[in-house]
Chains A and B, each alone.
Chain A
Amino acid sequence: MTSPLEARSLSLNREGNAVLNGVSFAVAEGEVFALLGGNGAGKSSTLLAFLGFLEPSGGEILVNGKSVADDIAAARSAIAYLPEAAALYGHMTAYENLNYFLDLAGKSVKKADYDDALNRVALPIEARSRRLQSYSKGMRQKTAIALALLRETPILLLDEPTSGLDPVAIDEFHDLVKDLAGAGQTILMVTHDVYGACQVADRVGLLRRGQLVGSFAAENGERIDTETVHAAFAERETA
């Protein structure tokens, strides 16, 4: 069966520096795969490669079984992308931002659906008609998450998605991710939050200096053991 997301011996260079070196993984439908790594490990670059922003210097990157290089537009239309600290337009309200970005994606959504999505991310009702420049970082992130939900794409790419969220919102977000995966959405998230990754992911991959150096999977319906991953993560980072 074709994996929605697959990296085959993926190597990436950015400005002459090797960012990824022969990384391979696949994310199955309905699976949450978390790439865990420190700063400069190549996590965000991996996401950008799936979106066609970075061309592989080696290997191949596939979305729904098709090489991204062959049809970037098709890859992007299948993916909702939540960048780290997504900066939506500060001079527009949450509704206007959603309207703009969904229109940009070629998607028509009813206003009631906007509210459903904003309810799911717990953005206060009174804030929705305010300009985003008055929002906290967490509220802006919630709006961006709502946008990703409304895209209703089969694949979600999340770059440090809980950045800026308070602990309660983080827990709510984790529940949301599990719900989405349960509904069949394929999710690749990159993070340096070991706890969060273990809470939400079916599998965790450890990325270090451009190489996948470890992998942990949830078994028997239990979550991945945070202590184990943390120990491996700390060991790898200090190695």
Chain B
Amino acid sequence: MVRDMVRESRFLAKDRGALFWLLLAFILSIISVAFGVAEVRDQKRTIAELVEEDRADRANALEGQEDWGGAAYYAFHLTYAPPSEFAFAALGQRDSSPWKHRIRMLALEGQIHEADTKNADFGLVGRFDFAFLAASVAPLLLILLLYDLRAAERTARRHDLLLATAGSSKRLWLPRALIRVMALFFLLLIPLWAASVMEGASLNVMIQASVVLLGALLIWWLIIELISRIDASSSVLLTALVGLWLALAIVIPALSKAAVETRQPLPNGGKILLLQRETVNDAWDMPKEATMTAFLEDHPEWHGHATIEQPFEWKWYYAFQQLGDMKAAPLVDQYRSARLARDHEAGVFAFLSPTSFVERSFEKLAGTDAASMIAYEESVRHFHAQLRAFHYPKLFKDEPFDRDLLGGLPAYDPS
């Protein structure tokens, strides 16, 4: 087998057509990885700048405050999901889900759902990252490398001579195809590994990503092998394989997406925003007692501290802000559950499409999948709850404002 591999690697070295596709694969891998690294570094730089600005802005905002309510109102807090060390390989949901927010202690859900993605337009077509290359482009390159191994020899009337000389087809087609698959694998992998080392990705993730890529190439090799055994011309085989690629990479994922969306309807994020804001706005016109009664049903611990005597009191203001979140909570739950259910079903449908499966696997390894983005949103809610836990005792117990205590404000921890 080793001798066969050496022979076929020498043969490959003289095959200009195959070398062209392999070189293209290498260049595309470099481009995809470079693009991902640049994007992730840009995101990291943005986060670093925002962290600095956030600290300065908050200090500035708190400087002139004289009560706890104002301090809570004017102090913004940056929350963010830092990209993982492997995010460069699969930007995934970071294109379509917001990964940073600037929140304050007002009603939270509106703040989460009004946030925009950095480049929502890219979300429509997807990024040219390594996951896209591995999932969608690599199979095409493999098809171009393998589709006419047999057919071209038949056309050149060399097929029988080759087989008669080799004795068995295993000594010919297996090493000839294997050397191409391995060459493509390593040429795609080298830039990925180089960038992984540069960005500090763990060896475990690198190995898992390599296994995913190898698995994808082997599955496509099997598909190509089965089709190319048909005794047909090169052009017929190419047409059949490209058609199959279209079905597996475009049609099935699109149909799966449509099926998942039909089966798991998702409430519009805008509806959450609207419902929460309407509740908050309506509160200005409602009797304060009604607001506080509703608030105390959920927060009985502030019973005895919830009497509103002035035309405006911060605890009343923050109580109706929270009522806005409470009113939107069922819709938020529905939204989150539906996203998780969609993600789960999409995972099941991904078994029908190697392309979807590879993309999802890379997104999972990179921490850019839907579950990761939902987890980030949960971390924002958790942080917001910490803000309320910090401010509520001071507001409801009418504690005197003490600037020194602001040093104990919760800090967002993205880990």
Contacts and interface: CB of A to CB of B under 8 A. Distances in A.
A87 B162 CA distance: 10
Nearest to B10: A100
B172 A104 contact: yes
Nearest to A101: B165
B161 interface: yes
A109 to B, nearest CB: 13
Interface string A49-63: 001010000000000
| A interface bracket (residues with beta carbon within 8 Å of B) | 20 to 34
Given A83-B157, A83-B160, A83-B161, A100 B11 contact: yes
B162 A104 contact: yes
Contacts of B165: 76, 81, 101, 104-105, 151
A105 B163 contact: no
A92 B163 CA distance: 19
Nearest to A84: B157
Contact of B7 (A51, A83, A85, A104): A104
Given A73-B168, A103-B3, A86 B14 contact: no
A79 B164 contact: yes
A129 to B, nearest CB: 14
Determine which residue in A48, A53, A79, A104 has the highest number of CB atoms from chain B within 10 A of its CB, and name it: A104
B161 A81 contact: yes
Contacts of A81: 160-161, 164-165
Interface string A114-144: 0000000000000000000000000000001
A171 to B, nearest CB: 25
A91 B158 contact: no
A170 interface: no
Interface in B144-177: 156-158, 160-168, 171-172
Contacts of B158: 86-89
A77 interface: yes
Interface in B3-36: 3, 7, 10-11, 14-16
Interface residues of B, number: 21
B167 A76 contact: yes
B161 A86 contact: yes
Contacts of B3: 103, 106
Contact of A91 (B15, B160, B163, B167): B15
A72 B168 contact: yes
B168 A87 contact: no
Contacts of B160: 48, 51, 53, 81, 83
A53 B7 CA distance: 24
A87 B156 contact: yes
Contacts of A83: 157, 160-161
Contacts of A172: none
A51 B168 CA distance: 11
Contacts of B11: 100
A144 B162 CA distance: 12
Nearest to B171: A104
A83 B160 CA distance: 8
Nearest to A144: B161
Nearest to B7: A103
A96 interface: yes
A88 B161 CA distance: 9
B164 A51 contact: yes
A130 to B, nearest CB: 14
A86 B11 CA distance: 18
A151 B168 CA distance: 16
B172 A91 contact: no
25 contacts: A51-B160, A73-B168, A76-B163, A76-B164, A76-B166, A76-B168, A79-B164, A81-B164, A81-B165, A86-B157, A86-B161, A87-B161, A89-B158, A91-B15, A91-B16, A92-B14, A100-B10, A100-B11, A101-B165, A103-B3, A104-B171, A105-B167, A106-B3, A106-B167, A144-B161
A-B pairs with the 5 shortest C-beta distances?
A: A81-B164, A73-B167, A103-B7, A76-B167, A87-B156
